[in-house]
Amino acid sequence: MSLSNLIKNWSTLRVKRPYEDQYKDKDYKWAMVIDLDACTGCNACTTACYAENNLPVVGKEAFSKGQAMHWIRIERYWGEGDELPKFPDRGAQFLPMLCQQCESAPCEVVCPVGATHHTPDGLNSQVYNRCIGSRYCSANCPYKVRYFNWWQYPERAWPNPLEQQLNPDVTVRSKGVMEKCTFCVQRLVEAKNRARTEGRRVEDGEVTTACAQACPTSAITFGNLADSKSQVAKMWERQQVDLAKDKQEKSDENMRGYRIFEDLRTYPSIVYMERIRDLQA
């Protein structure tokens, strides 16, 4: 999409979203479900993301300054409130945190150059060669899942021959550019093109993200929410989470689905399922 296209289509790009049945007649709306009772915090997803998306290893010093580029990270909490329990006797609280691909994304509205915008298939995209590094998007992101290239990583993160591992389907980002989880858009584009060539829609299970593919407990489910027969759409429906609502009206309180920071009205595309603990034990 060129800049002239962007200006021409400004009204459709900056529409108030989401609205009911926004994706009803669309081919694609990519979404995810993460089951926190299945997640063990093992870090398989995070490493898979490094391999798939050419994430640079920043090294000890940059890591200590919070400059790690992990598009998906495992957060670990010890308590729900303000008090540290003496022992974590119900285990740890693991949270795989990645870009929530918000439908009403706080990052999109503050970008001065339209580098981050919403795609027709419901992704919050980041156009690297348009980004000027203002970092407003990162400041405005409540999930803190945007990562800035403070250094020229292509010069130091892949000493020869490590660069041969780089995925040719994914750009290597340079200094001064913001980046984040793309729901493995390179895989989505390939699957969509293949399907379009064959005159059909991408089938459920035909494409998945690197994190979901690796996950040893299958805690992550990825798919097309616009396809009501997809696993992910069925899960959203059963969990009674509506993409276009900021307060879910659940007739079944025992369903575990929720979205993080819904009250900020970001309308995330990721449903988390509550962790379960046997409190009789």
Site for another protein in 69-128 (CB under 8 A): 70, 73-95
| CB contact at 8 A, 105 and 124 | yes
Binding residues with another protein: total (CB under 8 A): 93
Q: How far is the CB of 244 from another protein (least distance, A)?
A: 21
Helix, strand or coil, per DSSP, at residue 88: coil
| CB contact at 8 A, 269 and 17 | no
Burial class for 213, CB neighbours closer than 10 Å (0-12, 13-18, 19+): middle
Q: List the one residue from 9, 152, 218, 228 that touches another protein (CB under 8 A).
A: 218
Cβ closest to another protein, residue 19 vs residue 205: 205
Q: How far is the CB of 19 from another protein (least distance, A)?
A: 26
Cβ closest to another protein, residue 47 vs residue 140: 47
Residue pointed to by tokens 């829609």: 201
Q: List the one residue from 17, 26, 256, 265 that touches another protein (CB under 8 A).
A: 256
Residue 205's contacts (CB-CB under 8 Å, 6 or more residues apart) are: 223, 231
Cα–Cα distance, 161 to 217 (Å, whole number): 33
Cβ closest to another protein, residue 17 vs residue 265: 265
Note whether 26 binds another protein by CB under 8 A.
Answer: no
- Closest by CA to 239, choosing from 265, 271, 198, is 271
Helix, strand or coil, per DSSP, at residue 43: coil
Residue 250's contacts (CB-CB under 8 Å, 6 or more residues apart) are: 240
Chain positions 154 to 193 lying near another protein, rule: CB under 8 A, are: 159-162, 164-168, 190, 193
Q: List the one residue from 17, 26, 27, 44 that touches another protein (CB under 8 A).
A: 44
Q: List the one residue from 130, 201, 234, 245 that touches another protein (CB under 8 A).
A: 234
Q: List the one residue from 13, 41, 154, 174 that touches another protein (CB under 8 A).
A: 41
| Binding-site string for another protein from residue 46 to residue 65, where x marks contact by CB under 8 A and - marks none | xxx-xxx----xxxx--xx-
Q: How far is the CB of 187 from another protein (least distance, A)?
A: 10
Cβ closest to another protein, residue 211 vs residue 226: 211
What is the gyration radius of the CA atoms in the chain, in angstroms? 19
Cβ closest to another protein, residue 68 vs residue 134: 68
Burial class for 234, CB neighbours closer than 10 Å (0-12, 13-18, 19+): middle
Q: How far is the CB of 113 from another protein (least distance, A)?
A: 19
Q: What is the DSSP letter of 56?
A: P
Q: List the one residue from 9, 14, 155, 216 that touches another protein (CB under 8 A).
A: 216
Q: List the one residue from 20, 25, 249, 278 that touches another protein (CB under 8 A).
A: 278
Beta bridge partners of 96: 74
Cβ closest to another protein, residue 5 vs residue 19: 5
Cα–Cα distance, 83 to 73 (Å, whole number): 24
Cβ closest to another protein, residue 81 vs residue 112: 81
